[in-house]
Amino acid sequence: MTRIFVYGTLKRGRSNHHCLEGQRFVAEAHTQPIYRLYDMGGYPGMIRDDNGVAVEGEIWEVDAGGLARLDVLEDIEGGEYERVMLELEGDRVEGYLFLHDVSGRPDAGACW
């Protein structure tokens, strides 16, 4: 099992939450204030930012099949996101960082 931080459309009640079906919710969580969300048009992209905020999200325990589904959704192979270790308040878990330029995109702050 892999613990993963989700912060956008994968959170409970959001449009892609169905991708976490069969996985286990662990807790609500916040990142260290070194990340920032940007509105990419219907979904957020989280980047590392020297002027970051504590991004709100959820930690989930995900099995190998669930992790593979998330990697496809986040287009790891196509280079849209990268799965990395994220710094949370009091913890480190895996999560997805956005890899494209966010110049000109609306700042979504700490919560999607």
SS3 98: strand
Catalytic residue check, 56: no
- Angstrom CA distances, 1 to 4, 24, 33, 62, 63, stand at 10, 10, 26, 5, 5
| Beta-carbon count within 10 A of 107 CB | 11
Question: Angle CA(9)–CA(3)–CA(69) in degrees, nearest 5?
Answer: 50
The residue assigned the tokens 């992790």 is: 67
Q: Considering 74, 87, 89, 94, which one is annotated as catalytic?
A: 74
Enumerate the active-site residues.
74
